[in-house]
Chain A
């Protein structure tokens, strides 16, 4: 953040925080000062009101003691002062029908509070009838507030004071208002601090989202100096990591790819051999090498979709695999088959299922596959009668290049990538792959996949459902 006005200040988190702190402190002090002022004024007004009330009471007593009407009037005038006018009359100067306003009601309440001896009927608060009451001039009559006090002989003493009813009874509310203002200041300060630290959070988010495939937008190098520096360092590091990984990946991919030519040559050469047994052994070795290369290349291209998403029947796909394995002499059967359409990449999915079934055939002599619809999911179970996997290793087998110790895998070949690739593909399709040992021995691999919501009456499928299609697209299709 480069502000022209404050460019002389170093734009660091420290400076920003200090500015916010000082701002908040000043605002708090102002609120405190205001609270003090209003409180002090309230106290003064209270005292003045009390004085007025006391004078009203004493004047009333004094006038009541004078029986003569002329004397009463004179005495009333004599007791009047600039701050409190007094006038005696036979009828109340506050009319019964005088409109009640907030000010008059406040005055009435105040008098009741200060002079408890005044009964409800013994005094009235209202505006002087200065002739405007019926003149239709709106608020004109509200100029002077009067207090009429009834004497024992049903005559009235009328008091008028410019300060009547002007006291603000804020005393109780002062703290609440101060609290609200204080909270507001804290809120603003917190928002400001969050704004100051936002680049830091963005940096953290970028670090969490960092992925190798993503050429990704670099973190914006904005914010306070410390954050700008961290963002720049992060971007540089990200580039370096990506370059390093992609160089290694390319090297591995190039080697794997280039091995195909010598393997092709070897296949042709072995064909020239007359010794059929040796030829077959060489062919087997070559097949194994090919498998390793292919799975390595697949692993390296994981997450890179070069296959457009389509709706496919996962059950016939598994049927093909099972039939093929059975034709190759394996004891494998497909029990229970529900049809289930899945949106995804059929070639990749076939590879995933084939890896899982191949794994089962590698460790077990007998394999059973079951396909069941369960609500919006299809569950594929691959059961073998092999030795299973020790519980503590069950998750590890999904790690790349991991092999279960003392397994027969070294004799049977494989790269330790099959299940890694399978899980990656299935997860990408919004499904899950898990392994568990069967109670009676052997391993159960369970694949769960979301069924494509397929209604017979609906549009002809284009094979692209946006939500899933997006998920199936890699962050960047190379």
Chain B
């Protein structure tokens, strides 16, 4: 354990960074400190649990490829004692690792080489979710969400039609759909949807919520079900109509 000196700058939160590359550890630490976080860092996963006991940690950024205990095992161990949000750092093309990471209780993952701003956005998002006590991604991640014969696999981020055909969704559309599914049968205003759906993305090119909704509708609805799945509530926003089950 090589705790870097904690520089209390602001109280955005305490973040533990676990990565075996000392340069990256240092750079992430500096970057996050600049953005107002307390940062603890560690080169391996062994002492994570100790750190969790000693200090108040609000979020963990955990590299998957660690010497000794892998990030995923570490994530499972953390989950046994603590609900602290975990963001996994993975290499590209490691779909299996991502899925098992989410199954192991991670809240989100980000792919190396990542853009620091993207990391910051994800971090803010998991922290906000944890504070709001809203439905955690990890609890969503435990299984599938079913509606109207459709299935949304939140581990793989895959949407399948009642016939079993995979429907491709953009990140924005996926986030929007998750927001709708978590708040089915409730009227959601544009502002609420924007807040709920942008949680995972920092894409500056995201279109307005209306464009996103019309795109999502186009993918979900057929000529028979047009307007029946996501209904427009005039002057109020939108409502997701079908019965949603988490299974």
Interface check B207, CB cutoff 8 A: yes
Closest chain-A Cβ to B2's Cβ sits at a distance in Å of: 18
| Contact status of A261 and B21, CB under 8 A, knowing A272-B30, A461-B165, A462-B164 | yes
Contact B21 A267 (CB under 8 A): no
Interface check B117, CB cutoff 8 A: yes
Distance in angstroms between the alpha carbons of A272 and B33 in the assembled complex: 11
Mark out the residues of chain B between 204 and 245 whose CB falls within 8 Å of any chain A CB in the assembled complex. 205-207, 215, 218-219
CB-defined contacts of B163 to chain A, threshold 8 Å = 454, 456, 460-461
CB-defined contacts of A240 to chain B, threshold 8 Å = none
Contact B166 A311 (CB under 8 A): yes
Distance in angstroms between the alpha carbons of A113 and B108 in the assembled complex: 107
Contact B92 A461 (CB under 8 A): no
Mark out the residues of chain A between 57 and 72 whose CB falls within 8 Å of any chain B CB in the assembled complex. none
Distance in angstroms between the alpha carbons of A313 and B169 in the assembled complex: 11
Mark out the residues of chain B between 109 and 166 whose CB falls within 8 Å of any chain A CB in the assembled complex. 112-117, 161, 163-166
Distance in angstroms between the alpha carbons of A59 and B28 in the assembled complex: 133
Contact B170 A323 (CB under 8 A): yes
B95 is contacted by which of A306, A323, A461 (Cβ under 8 Å)?
Answer: A306
Interface string of A324-350 (1 = CB under 8 A from B): 100111000000000001000011001
B116 is contacted by which of A257, A271, A312 (Cβ under 8 Å)?
Answer: A271
Interface check A317, CB cutoff 8 A: yes
CB-defined contacts of A202 to chain B, threshold 8 Å = none
| Contact status of A320 and B169, CB under 8 A, knowing A267-B116, A460-B163 | yes
Closest chain-B Cβ to A222's Cβ sits at a distance in Å of: 42
| Contact status of A312 and B113, CB under 8 A, knowing A265-B24, A327-B206 | no
Number of A-B contacts (CB under 8 A): 98
Distance in angstroms between the alpha carbons of A132 and B92 in the assembled complex: 103
Looking across the interface, which residue of chain A has its beta carbon closest to that of B170? A320
Mark out the residues of chain B between 67 and 113 whose CB falls within 8 Å of any chain A CB in the assembled complex. 91-93, 95-96, 112-113
CB-defined contacts of A328 to chain B, threshold 8 Å = 205
CB-defined contacts of A347 to chain B, threshold 8 Å = 95
Closest chain-B Cβ to A349's Cβ sits at a distance in Å of: 10
- Name B's interface SS: mixed
B164 is contacted by which of A306, A317, A463 (Cβ under 8 Å)?
Answer: A463
Looking across the interface, which residue of chain B has its beta carbon closest to that of A314? B168
Contact B31 A268 (CB under 8 A): yes
A461 is contacted by which of B34, B164, B215 (Cβ under 8 Å)?
Answer: B164
Distance in angstroms between the alpha carbons of A324 and B203 in the assembled complex: 11
Distance in angstroms between the alpha carbons of A297 and B92 in the assembled complex: 10
Distance in angstroms between the alpha carbons of A220 and B200 in the assembled complex: 57
Contact B166 A297 (CB under 8 A): no
Contact A310 B166 (CB under 8 A): yes
CB-defined contacts of B167 to chain A, threshold 8 Å = 312-313, 316
Distance in angstroms between the alpha carbons of A257 and B206 in the assembled complex: 30
Interface string of B4-39 (1 = CB under 8 A from A): 000000000000000001011001101100100000
Distance in angstroms between the alpha carbons of A328 and B204 in the assembled complex: 9
Distance in angstroms between the alpha carbons of A341 and B168 in the assembled complex: 12
Interface string of A282-305 (1 = CB under 8 A from B): 010010001000100100010000
A311 is contacted by which of B91, B95, B164 (Cβ under 8 Å)?
Answer: B164
Contact B166 A346 (CB under 8 A): yes
Contact A260 B113 (CB under 8 A): yes
Distance in angstroms between the alpha carbons of A260 and B166 in the assembled complex: 31
Interface string of B172-189 (1 = CB under 8 A from A): 010000000000000000
Closest chain-B Cβ to A62's Cβ sits at a distance in Å of: 106
Distance in angstroms between the alpha carbons of A324 and B170 in the assembled complex: 8
Distance in angstroms between the alpha carbons of A301 and B91 in the assembled complex: 15
B168 is contacted by which of A320, A456, A460 (Cβ under 8 Å)?
Answer: A320
CB-defined contacts of A260 to chain B, threshold 8 Å = 91-92, 112-113
Distance in angstroms between the alpha carbons of A317 and B93 in the assembled complex: 19
CB-defined contacts of B93 to chain A, threshold 8 Å = 297, 301, 306
CB-defined contacts of B31 to chain A, threshold 8 Å = 268, 271-272
Distance in angstroms between the alpha carbons of A312 and B169 in the assembled complex: 12
Interface check A264, CB cutoff 8 A: yes
Interface string of A437-448 (1 = CB under 8 A from B): 000000000000
CB-defined contacts of B114 to chain A, threshold 8 Å = 264, 267
CB-defined contacts of A317 to chain B, threshold 8 Å = 168
CB-defined contacts of A346 to chain B, threshold 8 Å = 166, 168
Closest chain-B Cβ to A280's Cβ sits at a distance in Å of: 12
List 5 interface pairs A-B (beta carbons < 8 Å), by A numbering: A265-B24, A312-B166, A319-B218, A327-B206, A460-B164
Given A260-B91, A265-B23, A313-B168, 10 further pairs, Cβ under 8 A: A265-B27, A268-B31, A272-B31, A306-B93, A306-B96, A312-B168, A319-B168, A319-B218, A319-B219, A460-B164
